[in-house]
A and B are shown apart, each in its own frame.
Chain A
């Protein structure tokens, strides 16, 4: 699976959009980008995934660059409950395991 690089930490004002970047320059054509988050002392929670098109669901939007070497997770209106560590994972959809990188610790500030 391709390696990902994320900033260690970010802050975001409550009510504003949180934009979390992820670099995956060695991504292969059959690898998807997945985003999970982990609220303190809980198990990870699936957020969204995509291959090359931008995706949106009730939680977030995923923007993938045309060359697929990077992506951005967007939380449109961050709330205090969005404070968590966000993990960007790249893997083939048929793969078995999920390997987590270091993630980005997002703090939403009142």
Chain B
């Protein structure tokens, strides 16, 4: 089945630095990828939709200059948290949509997530 690899699985960084998280579709081409953020004991919150070769679409309230998204190829999207602060500490999860769409919209696969801790 479709596999989405997310790296790193966890990262600790100092306040003020930037952190890049990668999301790769291993065995399929993903024209669209999604980035979510999840705080402890809360649900997943969609941050942005990333389309290959074009600018990402951010959800209301998400700072596009702070969360830089690049989707340069059909198998890779990256999320860069710039000038990270402790309040950015969270679980970040990506999702990729199989280019074929999958049967009735089931072609969405989620990565295993990245635990970011900003100290």
A100 touches B113 (CB 8 A): no
Question: Within A39-61, which residues are at the interface with B (CB < 8 Å)?
Answer: 41-46, 49
B contacts with A: majority SS: strand
**Nearest residue, chain B, Cβ from A103:** B43
Q: B108 near A: Cβ within 8 Å?
A: yes
Interface residue count on the A side (C-beta < 8 Å): 24
**For B108, what are the chain A residues with a Cβ–Cβ distance below 8 Å?**
46, 98
Q: B13 near A: Cβ within 8 Å?
A: no
**For A32, what are the chain B residues with a Cβ–Cβ distance below 8 Å?**
104-105
- Using known A-B contacts A44-B44, A46-B106, determine if residue A97 contacts B113 with beta carbons closer than 8 Å: no
Interface residue count on the B side (C-beta < 8 Å): 24
A2 to B43, CA, bound (A): 17
A34 to B109, CA, bound (A): 13
Give chain A nearest CB distance to B99 CB in angstroms: 13
B49 touches A97 (CB 8 A): yes
**Given A41-B113, A43-B4, 19 other A-B residues pairs in contact with their CB atoms under 8 A:** A32-B104, A42-B113, A43-B6, A43-B93, A43-B95, A43-B110, A43-B111, A43-B112, A45-B110, A46-B106, A87-B43, A91-B105, A93-B105, A94-B105, A96-B32, A98-B108, A100-B36, A100-B44, A100-B46
